[in-house]
Amino acid sequence: MTIYLVGIKGTGMAHLAVLLKAMGHEVSGCDSGERFVTDSTLEAHALVVDHGFDADLLTASADLVIHSSAYGASVPIIAEAKRRGIEVLDYPAFVARLTGEQESWAVVGTHGKTTTASVATHLLSQATGGRFPFYALYGSREQALDAVPYWGNQVALFEGCEYQDHFLSYRLRGILITTIDWDHPDYFPDLEAVFSSFVTLAMGLERRGILIYNSDDALVRRLISVVAARRADLTLIGYGLSADGLFKIVKRGAGRYAFAGLGDLLFTLVVDEPSLVGDHLGALVLASAMLLDQDPPKLYLDDSALVTDEVLSTVVAHLGRHLATFAGAVGRLEVMGEEGGVIYLDDYAHHPREIVVLLGEVSRRWPGRETVVLFSPHTASRTRALFDEFVASLRPIDHLVIQATYASARQDGGDEDPSLALYERLSLLMGARVCYAKTDDEAIAAACARLHEGALCITMGAGNNRDLGERIARMRRRWM
pLDDT in tens, 246-292: 999 999 998 999 999 998 899 999 999 999 999 999 999 999 999 99
The two counts, helices (H) then strands (E), for the chain are 16, 20
Q: Are 139 and 162 in contact (CB under 8 A)?
A: no
- Distance between CA atoms of residues 149 and 130, nearest Å: 10
Any residues with CB less than 8 A from the CB of 55 and at least 6 apart, and which?
76, 77, 79, 80
What angle, 0 to 180 degrees and rounded to 10, lies between the N-to-C axes of helices 191-203 and 218-230? Answer: 40
Position 143 confidence tier, pLDDT thresholds 50, 70, 90: very low
Rounded Cα distance between 18 and 54, Å, is 23
pLDDT at 147 over 80: no
Can you tell me the distance from the alpha carbon of 270 to that of 255, in angstroms, rounded to the nearest whole number?
7
- R_g (Cα) of the chain, nearest Å: 22
More confident residue, 147 or 310: 310
CA angle 252, 244, 254 (to 5 degrees): 15
Buried b (16+ CB within 10 A) or exposed e, 363-380: eebeeeeebbbbbbbbbb
Nearest to residue 152, comparing CAs of 101, 211, 118? 101
DSSP letter (8 states) at residue 408: P
Using one digit for the tens of pLDDT, what is the confidence trace for 206-220? 999 999 999 999 999
Q: What is the mean pLDDT of the chain?
A: 90
Q: Kind and range of the H or E element at 135?
A: strand 134-137
Average pLDDT over residues 106-111: 97
In the chain, the domains with their CATH numbers are 2-90 (3.40.50.720), 100-325 (3.40.1190.10), 334-479 (3.90.190.20)
Q: What is each CA distance from 115 to 103, 201, 403, 422, in whole angstroms?
A: 21, 21, 25, 28
Q: State mean pLDDT over 37-66.
A: 93
**Bigger pLDDT: 242 vs 312:** 242
CA dihedral 26, 31, 33, 36 (to 10 degrees): -90
How do residues 421-472 score in pLDDT, each as one tens digit? 999 999 999 999 999 999 999 999 999 999 999 999 999 998 778 889 899 9
pLDDT at position 416 is 79
Q: What is the maximum span of the chain, computed from C-alpha positions, in angstroms?
A: 66
> In the prediction, which pLDDT does 477 show?
84
Kindly report the number of other CB atoms within 10 A of residue 122's CB atom: 26
Which of 35-39, 183-187, 347-351, 476-480 is the least confident region?
476-480
Single-letter amino acid code for the residue at 130: G
Burial of 44 (0-12, 13-18, 19+ CB in 10 A): exposed
Determine the 3-state secondary structure of 388 from DSSP. Answer: helix
For the stretch 365-405, pLDDT in tens is 999 999 999 999 988 999 999 999 999 999 999 999 999 98
> What's the pLDDT at 303?
46
